[in-house]
Structure 1
Amino acid sequence: MTTAVRTNRLLALLILSALLGLSILLEGCNDRCTETYSYTYFEPVYTPLATIRAGVKQESPRQLQGLGKIYFKDGYLFVNQPGEGIHVIDNRNPENPVIKSFIKIPGNYDLAIRNTTLYADSYIDLVALDVSNLDQVTEVARIENAFISYNSMGFYATAENGVVTDWTEREVTFDESSCENIRWEAWGGFRWGGGIFLANAASFDSRAAIAPGNSTGIGGSMARFTISNDYLYMLDGGNIHTADISIASDPEKISSQYVMWDIETIFPYADKLFIGARSGMHIYDLATPENPQKISTYSHINSCDPVVVSGDYAYVTLRSGTECQGFANQLEVLDISNLTSPSLVKMYPMHNPHGLGVDDPVLFICDGNDGLKIYDATDKLNIDKNLIKHYKNIHAYDAIPFNNVLMLIGEDGIFQYDYSDLNNISLLSHIQVQDE
């Protein structure tokens, strides 16, 4: 047999093998891709930007419903109702808080207050409100298009469509008849035809899917807005935006910088910012306040991560859950005496911790469905052995300790406790949440 004949036979064999393999691949592809599935389809509902921007106004008091962020300033509580606006509560007597009014702010999730100006997000805009007279709150300024990422599903505002403000739900039969790959997103679905498909509609939270020397107030540990002197710092997607608010009626966004895609919370301490992320804690220096400079990052396992700071220690809670993409439920105590190299002091297991607060030496942990836990944190190595009080029959989301009063927010409403005597902590008041 000649070399040419052997070569031709070998070539024919290779071609036959390739065709056979392709046939098997196509058959397998057909077996895999001709299935018909039923999904829940959510089609976005858009609202024009002009309508959104004309929607800020003060209204009569509302019942608390679906509570979000909490902020305290000059005897008043400002409580966010996600996507809707802010409840104003007269808390000068914490034994008898009074819901005073509701500030309607479409697409609002975060807030911060300096002097008599309240700053709040409204989808893609930053809104400044004059709260010097809480009976007549008025909008005094607005930075349009201040934010890029205004919802967790990756939909962006456009001049033509406006912003996504709601979702229309229906069942759709989807025929995967081609062999194209469907790219599932981290939120449990995939995009198609201008909307989103979910295999498990029960996991879909429509509100979350459109959600994110001067006198300043106090925010909770879940905050994404914070103020330091003349500057407002805001988390947006993976970025931190800085706005000069020295002139209340003319705020100016002056810088933006990328931190990490998974940043979630921001906490000011001294001249530093502590930014909690799913993958760790980032520390920024405010020596140049208009452009914060990164000092270091402390990395941990992937989990939701609010942080509070007192002295040389930072307290970080990690929790599991669908949105957190992690499995850890714990408290971490970090030594930050060397800001360039934070180190773990000790880790304590928890149930499903959310926000937290510290009023040295007292540490407050909002442990989700396991309630509120109050510790003496003097001994950082034995915090678990120094539990002062455990309120089990409430859901605890976030808390602000101030002047011996703990203001706590959760699914059951707003609870306030007097902790001036740690041996006799007492409930001062409870504002219930109305069922949705």
Structure 2
Amino acid sequence: MKKILLNALLLLATISTLTQCKKSPSAKYEMIQIPKVISLAEMRSLPVGITKAQTATKAGKIYIYNDYLFINEPNKGIHIYNNSNPNNPINTGFLQIPGNIDLAVHNNILYADSYIDLLAFDITTINNIKLVKRTPEVFKQFLIQYAAGPKVLTYKDTLVNTAANNNANKEVMFASTANSYGGSGQGGSMARFTLLNNYLYTVGISDLSLFNVQAAANPTFVKSIRLDWGVETIFPYEQKLFIGTNTGMHIFNAADPANPVKLSTYAHVFACDPVVVQGKYAYVTLRAGTGCRQATNQLEVLDIEDPTKPKQVSVFPMQNPHGLSVSGNNLFLCEGDFGLKSFNITDKIAIGKNLLQHLKNIKSFDVIAGPKSLIVTGEDGVYQFNYDNAATLKQLSKIKIQNPLNSSL
């Protein structure tokens, strides 16, 4: 039982990211997430659906589809922005989804996890989004088996004075966040959902799940494929799936979308590991620090021309790399607390020497090089830049994140 609970805690994406606020010289307050077990019926009775626009208190996964920008607020739902003009994104509504971490969109159907279930929403009319299907119990990592029946691991927001409690009440939970290209939309490099050939692929902490979405409004669970422990991200490229784990990168051939076949695994030291691909090269960031144990901070370039034998081309030291995105001859890399960097990647063995720009004033975590703008998630907001010239990024707008502690204490 304890092992099952720990596994689920490890997957609760970003909900343990703590925000501090001082109320007195001796007090330090942090918003933490305390595990709470509820019944399946209680979980499914939680409110789901479109509500009025509201300000995000934390940005999780990002996704773009047509003229819309979707910003996940971990475990709460999805903020929806009309992004037809990146200079002035308009907050149009909030799609409330308890337990939501990931999303993808295909043919006007938005897929999102809600704890153990997969939900499908029709977003044809963005102000009148409708739930069209719930596929139950497909994400097993949150399901806990009791003699009296299954329960669901959820969480409860709790404000604690860590100075007074000596951190005794703190539950620390970690997970990483993927790039989701497909014929439908585009996500960041930390996604666990992606679309390819009318299939939705999702990764849990140790498995790959397949859903047939040829009939977009009727996603059908096909099967799960067991993977090694520590799965973090998934990225599709030219009939292949690149799966990042904390010990390496798996490459699957998805030419037969219902039966992806593992081609190879590229092993590396234990580290958090997003991956993106362009042409015959894969770009992987390895990150040390909390939740990723003691690893290294670096960018690796891999030659994947023969996907059965990926090989390292070059390695470049970084400060604390998170998400990344490639567009043409440029790579954009989030350095966490150390800012946002852009590189020219024409010469694969000299990328470290070809830094174009370093914006040090943004704590950046994930990035999408989209058709209209470069979209970057930061600690205090979601930024958009004109990246016509990767050496001189020009900020277009910023969607602010409202820290609830700042307004309540």
- TM-score under structure 1 length normalisation: 0.79
User: C-alpha separation between the residues in 2 aligned to 1:170 and 1:399?
Assistant: 30
Q: 1:374 aligns to what?
A: 342
Per-residue deviation, residues 39-63 of structure 1 (Å, max 9, x unmatched)? xxx9742333223324211111111
Task: Give 1:25-424 correspondences, 5 Å limit.
Answer: 44-54=35-45, 55-150=47-142, 156=144, 160=149, 162-167=151-156, 200-201=167-168, 204-205=171-172, 215-403=183-371, 405-424=373-392
1:68-118 deviation digits (Å, cap 9, x = unpaired): 101010011111100000010111100001111000001000001101000
How many residues align? The count is: 364
- Asked if the contact 1:303/1:325 (under 8 Å) is kept, the reply is yes
Whether the 8 Å CA contact 2:55–2:401 is kept in 1: the answer is: yes
Task: Call closer, same or farther: CA 1:214–1:115 in 2, change over 3 Å.
Answer: farther
- 2:189 maps to amino acid: S
Shift of 1:404: 5.4
User: Is the CA contact 1:69–1:222 (under 8 Å) kept in the aligned structure 2?
Assistant: yes
Q: 1:306 to 1:203 in 2, by over 3 A?
A: farther
CA distance in structure 1 between the partners assigned to 2:49 and 2:383 by the alignment: 27
Partners of 1:214 and 1:202 in 2: CA distance: 42
Question: Take 2:103 and 2:223, find their aligned partners in 1: how far apart are those partners?
Answer: 19
Contact 1:304-1:320 within 8 A present in 2 as well: yes
Counterpart position of 1:9: none
In 2: Cα distance, 1:71 partner to 1:251 partner: 19
Q: Aligned letter for 1:433? A: I
Question: Distance between the aligned counterparts of 1:376 and 1:347, measured in 2?
Answer: 15
1:202: Cα distance to partner?
7.9
Q: State how far apart, in whole Å, the 2-side matches of 1:358 and 1:426 are.
A: 18
Give 1:137 deviation, angstroms.
0.7
What are the Cα deviations for residues 112-168 of structure 1, in whole angstroms up to 9, with x where unaligned?
A: 110100000000000000011110011001110011113xxxx62667463222259
Q: Compute the displacement of 1:262 (Å).
A: 0.8
CA drift at 1:367:
0.6
Aligned-partner Cα distance in 1 for 2:201–2:137:
16
Q: Distance in 1 between matches of 2:34 and 2:331?
A: 44
Asked whether the 8 Å contact 2:182–2:195 carries over to 1, the reply is: no
1:68 to 1:169, Cα distance in 2 relative to 1, 3 A: closer
Check 1:115–1:215 CA distance in 2 against 1; reply closer, same or farther (3 A cut): farther
- Larger gyration radius, structure 1 or structure 2: 1
Q: CA RMSD in A?
A: 2.5
SS at match of 1:156: strand
Say whether the 8 Å CA contact 1:45–1:168 is kept in structure 2: no
Deviation at 1:294, TM superposition (A): 0.2
**How big is the shift at 1:215?**
4.0
**CA shift for structure 1 position 201:** 4.6
Query: What amino acid sits opposite 1:45 in the alignment?
Result: K
8 Å contact from structure 1 (residues 130, 137) kept in 2: yes
Task: Give the unaligned 5+ runs of structure 2.
Answer: 1-32, 405-409
Q: Secondary structure at the match of 1:52?
A: helix
Residue 314 to residue 45, structure 1, CA distance change in 2 (3 Å): same
- 1:421 partner amino acid: N
Q: Is the 8 A contact 1:352 1:370 kept in 2?
A: yes
- Deviation, 1:255, is 1.2
- Judged with a 3 Å threshold, the aligned counterparts in structure 2 of structure 1 residues 405 and 435 are, in CA distance, closer, same or farther, namely same
Q: What CA distance in whole angstroms lies between the structure 2 residues aligned with 1:83 and 1:166? A: 9
In 1, the alpha carbon distance for the partners of 2:200 and 2:157 equals: 35
What is the letter of the counterpart of residue 101 of structure 1? Answer: G
Over residues 11-57 of structure 1, what are the superposed CA-to-partner deviations in whole Å (9 max), with x where a residue is unaligned? xxxxxxxxxxxxxxxxxxxxxxxxxxxxxxx9742333223324211
- Other structure's SS at 2:367 match: strand
Structure 2 residue identity aligned to 1:164: L
Compared CA separation, residues 292 and 322, structure 1 to 2 (3 A): same
Whether the 8 Å contact between 1:74 and 1:217 is mirrored in structure 2 is yes
How much does 1:425 deviate?
2.4
Q: How many percent of aligned residue pairs carry the same amino acid?
A: 44
CA distance in 2, matches of 1:43, 1:142: 26
Q: Distance in 2 between matches of 1:409 and 1:43?
A: 25
Amino acid at match of 1:50: A
CA contact (8 A) 1:221 1:308 kept: yes
> What is the rounded CA distance, in whole Å, between the counterparts of 1:323 and 1:305 in structure 2?
12
